[in-house]
């Protein structure tokens, strides 16, 4: 579909969804973003849009010489990784409980961490250089270096997951969703508080949208820490993906893997759009430059899509990061039961207890509709359906 334009105070809002489907709280948040004097051209809104802490999830915000740390959020570099294997559905055992258990044993979930460092030279060749940069991060995180080492290669909780999926040709894929773990959270919260206290942010329509300005020490410090945390998130996914693939190698000695796909969907990038260099914040959105592969997941019972970007300039070459929530976690817990979760995740080897009811498929938007609404942003490469889902 083509985007719908809504006037904003400083720039317009361009939505790849029907305006009437956007909840009032999210639309008010988008209007506040569009009122910021640093925002360039327009705010691009993806079809998975919903209200978010700091800024609207599913928004793409390009700024001239400014960036909002709360718009990026506390899970810096959160994103997706996926890899197609040489296995097919016929290679998998009839019962998948043991395979799920083996994955959970290999990758700590929730608040758990590795007892010893899990990253190796197989994941990257420059670990000493990467960790040496820890000394240059904002001092508030320095006492957490040991924890950062042990969380490298861990999943976390919430909507983070590891899945074994089948595409429509019954080929097996590994897919996972995670970010920069505790260290990214600490860095983000520190910089968000710094931004809120700056003089130029005192009269904003929403203090959560406080920004750092180019040429200031606060901006330099944030971008330094942000870049490191985004790299931490990328490496975290790479280590987890290797750990899961190692589980498959033990059970299926003949397995081979294609080149992995890895995309951030909470991050900042310096890019050129409409002839100008800008700082693009994708808050719950992936880059979808022409020919670039991406991953758009749904919920723990509905599957996901592998997509190829079409490079649409009006979206700042972006697409949605997932299906997007249609109700809050609290509302989902109030509305649905464990029995509902069991019914909606039939055929998936996964947790089916009350602790993950807030992740029930019905709490998310219709993924197929979300994909249809962005047919001018991406083309579908593969549709996946999970058979195993691991959650924290």
Looking at the annotation, which residues are catalytic? 321
DSSP three-state, residue 75: coil
Torsion of CA 117, 123, 125, 128, to 10 degrees: -30
Give the integer Cα–Cα distance in Å for 241 and 245: 6
Pair of tokens at residue 207: 């203090």
DSSP-derived pairing of the beta strands 212-213 and 171-178:
unpaired
Within 13 Å, how many C-alpha atoms sit on residue 208's CB side? 15
Cβ contact 194:99 at 8 Å: no
H-state helical runs in the chain: 24-34, 69-72, 97-106, 127-132, 145-151, 181-196, 217-251, 329-335, 338-344, 367-372
Pair of tokens at residue 280: 């693009």
**Torsion sign (Cα): 291, 179, 325, 38:** negative
Give the integer Cα–Cα distance in Å for 280 and 187: 19
Query: What is residue 280's DSSP assignment?
Result: E
Q: Which distant-in-sequence residues (6+ apart) come within 8 Å of 100 by Cβ?
A: 349, 350, 388, 390
């Amino acid at each position: 579909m083509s985007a719908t334009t809504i006037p904003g105070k400083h720039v317009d809002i361009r939505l790849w969804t029907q305006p009437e489907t956007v909840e009032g709280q999210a639309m008010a948040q988008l209007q506040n973003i569009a009122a910021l004097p640093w925002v360039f051209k327009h705010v691009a809104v993806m079809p998975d849009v919903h209200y978010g802490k700091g800024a609207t999830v599913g928004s793409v915000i390009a700024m001239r010489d400014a960036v909002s740390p709360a718009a990026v959020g506390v899970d810096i570099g959160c994103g997706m990784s996926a890899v197609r294997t040489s296995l097919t559905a016929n290679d998998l055992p009839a019962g998948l409980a043991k395979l799920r258990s083996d994955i959970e044993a290999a990758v700590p979930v929730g608040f758990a961490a590795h007892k010893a460092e899990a990253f190796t030279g197989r994941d990257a060749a420059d670990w000493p250089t990467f960790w040496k940069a820890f000394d240059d991060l904002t001092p508030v995180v320095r006492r957490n270096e040991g924890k950062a080492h042990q969380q490298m290669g861990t999943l976390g909780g919430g909507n983070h997951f590891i899945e074994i999926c089948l595409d429509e040709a019954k080929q097996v894929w590994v897919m996972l969703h995670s970010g920069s773990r505790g260290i990214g959270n600490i860095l983000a919260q520190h910089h968000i508080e710094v931004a809120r206290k700056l003089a130029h942010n005192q009269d904003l329509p929403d203090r959560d949208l406080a920004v750092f300005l180019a040429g200031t020490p606060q901006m330099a410090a944030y971008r330094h820490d942000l870049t490191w945390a985004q790299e931490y998130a990328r490496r975290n996914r790479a280590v987890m993906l290797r750990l899961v693939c190692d589980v498959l190698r033990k059970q299926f000695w003949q397995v081979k893997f294609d080149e992995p796909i890895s995309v951030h969907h909470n991050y900042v990038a310096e890019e050129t759009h409409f002839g100008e260099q800008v700082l693009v914040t994708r808050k719950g959105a992936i880059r979808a430059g022409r020919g670039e592969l991406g991953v758009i997941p749904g919920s723990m019972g509905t599957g996901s899509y592998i997509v190829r970007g079409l490079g649409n300039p009006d979206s700042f070459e972006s697409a949605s990061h997932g299906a997007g929530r249609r109700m809050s976690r609290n509302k989902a817990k109030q509305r649905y039961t464990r029995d509902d979760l069991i019914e909606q995740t039939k055929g998936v080897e996964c947790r089916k207890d009350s602790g993950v009811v807030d992740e029930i498929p019905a709490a998310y938007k219709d993924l197929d509709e979300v994909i249809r609404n962005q047919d001018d942003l991406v083309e579908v490469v593969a549709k996946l359906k999970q058979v195993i889902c691991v959650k924290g």
